[in-house]
Amino acid sequence: MLITVGEHTRMRVVIRGAVQGVGFRPFVYRLANELQLRGWVSNTSQGVFIEVEGDRETLNNFLCRVQSEKPPRSFIQSLEHSFLDPLHYTSFQINESDEAGERTTIILPDIATCSECLREVFDRANRRYLYPFTNCTNCGPRFSIIESLPYDRCNTSMKKFEMCPECRREYDDPSDRRFHAQPNACPVCGPYLELWDEQGTILATGNTALDRAAEALRTGRCVGVKGIGGFHLMVDAESDDAVRRLRKRKHREEKPFALLFPGIESVKEACRVSEMEEHLLLSPESPIVLLTHREQTTVAPSVAPGNPYLGVMLPYSPLHHILMREMNAPLVATSGNLSDEPICIDEHEATRRLQGVADLFLVHNRPIVRHVDDSIVRIALERELVLRRARGYAPLPIPIREKGDRTVVAVGAHLKNTIAMNAGKNVFISQHIGDLETAESYDAFNRVIADFQSLFQKTPDDIVCDVHPEYLSTKYARQQYSRIHTVQHHYAHVAACMMENELDGKLLGVSWDGTGYGLDGTIWGGEFLQTTETSFERVAAFRTFRLPGGDLAIREPRRAALGLLVEAFGESVYDQSDISPMKDFEERELAVIRQMLEKKIHSPLTSSVGRLFDAVASIAGVRQIVRHEGQAAMELEFALPESPIDDCYDVSIIESPVPQPRWIVDWSPMAVQLLNDVRRKIPLPIITSKFHNMLVESIIQVAERIGENRIVLTGGCFQNKYLLEKTICRLREEGFTPYWHQRIPPNDGGISSGQIFAFLRSQR
Ligand code: ZN
Ligand code: ZN
Ligand code: FE
C-alpha cells in the first residue's frame, strides 16, 4: 500500500561466496549500465560490495538478475542488501579494491544446501546418495563447526574424520567443487546418524535411523533431531494431538511453533507467499519466514493458536531434505530447549535436558561447536525485517562509516540477548542467545563473549552495558572491567537503527517497547529521543501510569489496565465492576492491588507503549493474562480488519513543566473514548484500529513539535507490521523521512549493536 514506485533510493548489496576471479565485477558493471543504475562495484577479500541508485522497481529487478544471471563459475553463499538514502552518484564505476587499513576476518554463516549437492543426494548412482552430511565449497556448515581461525579442517569439528582417498582427491583438486571444502565427507569417511531412545541407547544407525525416526513422527511421536546449529523438537504438524502433547511437555502454552515444509509448493498450499517471500525461503540463509496462512489448511490449529501468521522454513541441510522427502508433510520444528533456555547442541546433553519431551533422538557424530538458532524474518514494505538474527546471518558484520580506534564489546539487553563487538569498520553481532533468565542462558552468554574474543582475536578495550543495575549483563560487565560504560536502553535501540541506516547527527528517534530502565528510575518504553552529535535528549514521552505488582504486571495485562484507569479516573474506577479489568479480579486480589496503588508500593511508574497495548487489550476484553511475551499486543494487532479503517482515538500532547521530557503524550482522551466504545459494544476490529491510529498520530504530532525531518522508528513495538507501515506512510504524507530496521532486529536483539554505536558516538 505504501510503495512509491518512483522513489529514488540507494541499495547496498554485499555478496560473499565464490565471487572472486570469476568475472563478477564486469558482469555487475554491464547489468547496472543496462538498467541505467548509477553507483559502484568493488571486489575485496571480504566479498563483492555494490551500491546502486535508482527507483525501487529497477533496484529489485537488478537484485533478481544479479542472482539469476551471475557468471557460471560464481556462487553466492550469502547476499545481504539494505536500502539507504541516495548519495546521487553520477555514473557507474568499477572501484579498485580497497585493501588498505585493518582487514578483519569474515566468518561465514552456515549455508543452506546448494542445488548441485541436492542433486547428488537424490541420485541413486552417486556415491553420496541419501548421505545426510553432503556439502561442498558453496554450501554446508561454517559458523557452527569452526573452533578457531584460520578456517581449515583441523580447526573445525570435522577434524576427527579422516577423509577417504576419494574425498581427499576432491579436496585437493582445484577444479573440483569440493576443493578445500572443509566439512567435505561421504558415507565412507564422514559423520553418520544414530537413533537413540530416551536413555541414549542406540536403536539404529545410518539411514535406517532416519527411516525409523520418520516412522515415529508419522505415528505422532516427538523426535529430537540434531541439525546444523542445535536440536529441533519435531512432531507431525497435521496432528493436533501430537502438537498439544509437545506444548504440554515443553511448557509452552500458546507461543507459535515454527514449521518445516517439504518444499515450496506445499508452503504455497498452506500460506500466501509473495515473490520476495519465496525468494527468502529458498535463499542460502534459509530463515523462518512469517507468512499469512490460508483459511483452509491441514496444519493443526494448535501450531499457532489465534495467530494469522505461520513461521515457515524449508529444508536447509541434506538431513532435513531427506527426512522431509520421506515425510512429505509439514513438521513442527521448534528449538530443542525448555521454554526460553538456549537450544541444545550435544546429544548427551539433549537426552538429559529434553528428557520427557522427546520420545526419540535422531543424532549424529559431527559435533556442533556453538549453538545457532533458526533466524526469523518478515517482509514489511517490500523489505526484509530481521526479527531474530542467527543461522544464515550471524556473525556477518554490519559495516559502519568510521573506524573506531578502540575495540568495544557490548553485552546487550536482558531479553532476546545478543552481544556485539567492533573491529575496524565492522560491527559483529552474535547469534541470538536468549533471555538471560536461567543459569543455562547465562552460561551461553558467557561462552559467546569468550568465543567472540577468541574467534576475532581481539581483547576489548571497553565494555558497554545497559544502565539497569540489576541486569545480569550489567553485573557481568562490572565483574570483568573496572570501568564500564552504560547506554540507556531506548537510546541503544535508536542508535542501532541509525547505525544500519548510516545516519548520524540530529534526528528524532521513536523508541517504543515493553520495558527499559529509564534515567529517572522509572520504566521507560514510549520514548521520543532527539539525538545530539554525541548523545540524546528525551524530548517527549508517554504519560506514565503505575504497574501494580511490578513484573507481575507484564504477565497480567489486567494490572496495567487497572494502573492506567486509576491514573486517568482516580478511585471511581473501582465502582465500575461491569467492565474489564475490574470484573476479572477476585475481590481479594482487587483489594490488595488497590492498597498497592494507594500506597504506591511495588507499583513502578511506566511510560511504556508495550504496557499501553496490554492495558487496552485488557479493557477491550481481549486478554487479561498472557502466556508469552507480547501476546496481548499481538492479539490487538491480529484483530485489525483486513481493509484498514481510518477512525482514531484522540490524543493530546501536553507541554510539561520540566525540560526533559518537554512534551507528554497524554492517552487520557483515548481512555475515555475506549471505555465508551467497550460499553457500546463497538466491534474489536474498530477499537483496535482506533488505538493503532492514535499511536500513529501521536508520532506525527510530536514530530511536528520537534521539527526534525528524519524520524527513526525502533523498539519491539515496531515488529507490529501495521503500526510500522502506517507510521511510515503517514510520516511521508506529512513530509518527514522515516527510517526503520532491516538487518538488525527492532527488538532487544538489536540492543548490543546499538550500545556499540552509542559508545562510538560518545567518544567524539
Ligand atoms: Zn553444495
Ligand atoms: Zn569420504
Ligand atoms: Fe527494548
Q: pLDDT (tens digit, 9 = 90+) per residue, 247-280?
A: 999 989 999 999 999 999 999 999 999 999 999 9
CA of 749 from ligand 3 middle (Å) equals 8
CA of 713 from ligand 3 middle (Å) equals 12
Query: pLDDT category, 103, cuts 50, 70, 90?
Result: low
- CA 654, CA 623: separation in Å to the nearest integer? 30
CA of 112 from ligand 1 middle (Å) equals 8
CB-based burial label for 86 (10 Å; 0-12, 13-18, 19+): middle
Residues with CB under 5 A from ligand 3 (ion): 513, 748
Query: pLDDT category, 691, cuts 50, 70, 90?
Result: very high
Nearest ligand by distance to the CA of 141: 1
Say what the pLDDT of residue 98 is: 62
Mean pLDDT (whole number) for 218-231: 97
Do residues 136 and 117 make contact, with C-beta atoms less than 8 angstroms apart? yes
Do residues 390 and 432 make contact, with C-beta atoms less than 8 angstroms apart? yes
Nearest ligand by distance to the CA of 417: 3
Fold of 107-388: DHBP synthase (3.90.870)
Say what the pLDDT of residue 74 is: 83
CA of 454 from ligand 1 middle (Å) equals 28
- CA 223, CA 196: separation in Å to the nearest integer? 10
Nearest ligand by distance to the CA of 718: 3
CA of 322 from ligand 1 middle (Å) equals 15
Nearest ligand by distance to the CA of 134: 1
Nearest ligand by distance to the CA of 714: 3
CA of 394 from ligand 3 middle (Å) equals 20
Residue 167, beta-bridge partner list: none
Do residues 660 and 532 make contact, with C-beta atoms less than 8 angstroms apart? no
CA of 136 from ligand 2 middle (Å) equals 12
CA of 345 from ligand 1 middle (Å) equals 23
Q: Which grid cell is 75?
A: 556462487
Say what the pLDDT of residue 424 is: 86
CA of 104 from ligand 3 middle (Å) equals 30
Say what the pLDDT of residue 95 is: 87
Nearest ligand by distance to the CA of 77: 1
CA of 168 from ligand 1 middle (Å) equals 16
Domain with CATH 3.30.420.360 in the chain: 389-505+749-762
CA of 119 from ligand 1 middle (Å) equals 9
For the domain 9-94, what is the CATH code?
Answer: 3.30.70.100
Q: Which grid cell is 9?
A: 533510493
Phi, psi of 759 (to 5 degrees): -65, -45
- CA 1, CA 9: separation in Å to the nearest integer? 18
- CA 56, CA 440: separation in Å to the nearest integer? 45
Mean pLDDT (whole number) for 396-425: 92
Say what the pLDDT of residue 764 is: 87
Nearest ligand by distance to the CA of 494: 3
Domain with CATH 3.30.70.100 in the chain: 9-94
CA of 717 from ligand 3 middle (Å) equals 9
Do residues 223 and 242 make contact, with C-beta atoms less than 8 angstroms apart? no
CA of 192 from ligand 2 middle (Å) equals 12
Mode of pairing for the β-strands spanning 605-606 and 545-546: antiparallel
CA of 333 from ligand 2 middle (Å) equals 30
Say what the pLDDT of residue 402 is: 79
CB-based burial label for 21 (10 Å; 0-12, 13-18, 19+): exposed
Mean pLDDT (whole number) for 624-636: 95
Average pLDDT, the chain: 94
pLDDT in tens, 142-190: 999 999 988 899 999 999 999 999 999 999 998 999 999 999 999 999 9
CA of 712 from ligand 3 middle (Å) equals 14
Residues with CB under 5 A from ligand 1 (ion): 114, 117, 136, 138-139
Mean pLDDT (whole number) for 437-447: 94
CA of 252 from ligand 1 middle (Å) equals 36
CA of 74 from ligand 1 middle (Å) equals 13
Nearest ligand by distance to the CA of 128: 2
CA of 43 from ligand 1 middle (Å) equals 23
Do residues 714 and 746 make contact, with C-beta atoms less than 8 angstroms apart? yes
Do residues 294 and 270 make contact, with C-beta atoms less than 8 angstroms apart? yes
Q: Is 12 left (phi over 0), alpha (psi -120 to 50) or beta?
A: beta
Nearest ligand by distance to the CA of 412: 3
Number of other residues whose CB lies within 10 A of the CB of residue 414: 21
Q: Of residues 517 and 96, which shows the higher confidence score?
A: 517
Q: Which residues are CB-contacts of 405 (< 8 A; sequence separation ≥ 6)? A: none
- CA 711, CA 703: separation in Å to the nearest integer? 8
CA of 114 from ligand 1 middle (Å) equals 4
CA of 190 from ligand 2 middle (Å) equals 6
Angle separating helix axes 472-480 and 439-455, nearest 10 degrees: 50
pLDDT in tens, 360-383: 999 999 999 999 999 999 999 989
pTM: predicted TM-score of the whole model, two decimal places = 0.95
Long-range contacts of 190-193 (CB under 8 A, 24+ apart): 190/131, 190/133, 190/161, 190/366, 191/133, 191/161, 191/364, 191/365, 191/366, 192/133, 192/364, 192/365, 193/132, 193/319, 193/362, 193/363, 193/364
Q: Which grid cell is 624?
A: 487479561
CA of 14 from ligand 1 middle (Å) equals 21
For the four alpha carbons of 364, 368, 373 and 374, in that order, the dihedral sign comes to: negative
CA of 167 from ligand 2 middle (Å) equals 4
pLDDT in tens, 546-594: 999 999 999 999 999 999 999 999 999 999 999 999 999 999 999 999 9
CA of 189 from ligand 2 middle (Å) equals 4
CA of 414 from ligand 3 middle (Å) equals 9
CA of 120 from ligand 1 middle (Å) equals 9
Query: pLDDT category, 751, cuts 50, 70, 90?
Result: very high
Do residues 621 and 578 make contact, with C-beta atoms less than 8 angstroms apart? no
pLDDT > 70? residue 290: yes
pLDDT > 90? residue 606: yes
pLDDT > 90? residue 490: yes
CA of 164 from ligand 2 middle (Å) equals 4
Nearest ligand by distance to the CA of 527: 3
Q: Which grid cell is 693?
A: 491510529
Say what the pLDDT of residue 1 is: 44
CA of 383 from ligand 1 middle (Å) equals 28
Closest C-alpha to 466, from 429, 503, 415, 501: 415
CA of 78 from ligand 1 middle (Å) equals 13
H or E stretch covering 705: helix 684-706
Say what the pLDDT of residue 2 is: 47
Say what the pLDDT of residue 72 is: 81
Say what the pLDDT of residue 196 is: 98
Say what the pLDDT of residue 241 is: 97
- CA 333, CA 258: separation in Å to the nearest integer? 6
CA of 511 from ligand 2 middle (Å) equals 53
Closest C-alpha to 300, from 240, 245, 252, 257: 240
pLDDT > 80? residue 20: no
Residues with CB under 5 A from ligand 2 (ion): 164, 167, 186, 188-189
Nearest ligand by distance to the CA of 318: 1
CA of 323 from ligand 3 middle (Å) equals 38
pLDDT > 90? residue 102: no
CA of 302 from ligand 3 middle (Å) equals 29
- CA 516, CA 493: separation in Å to the nearest integer? 10
CA of 670 from ligand 3 middle (Å) equals 24
pLDDT > 60? residue 99: no
CA of 534 from ligand 1 middle (Å) equals 47
pLDDT > 90? residue 238: yes
Residues of the chain above pLDDT 90, percent: 88
Fold of 389-505+749-762: Nucleotidyltransferase; domain 5 (3.30.420)
Say what the pLDDT of residue 100 is: 53
CA of 662 from ligand 1 middle (Å) equals 58
CB-based burial label for 659 (10 Å; 0-12, 13-18, 19+): exposed
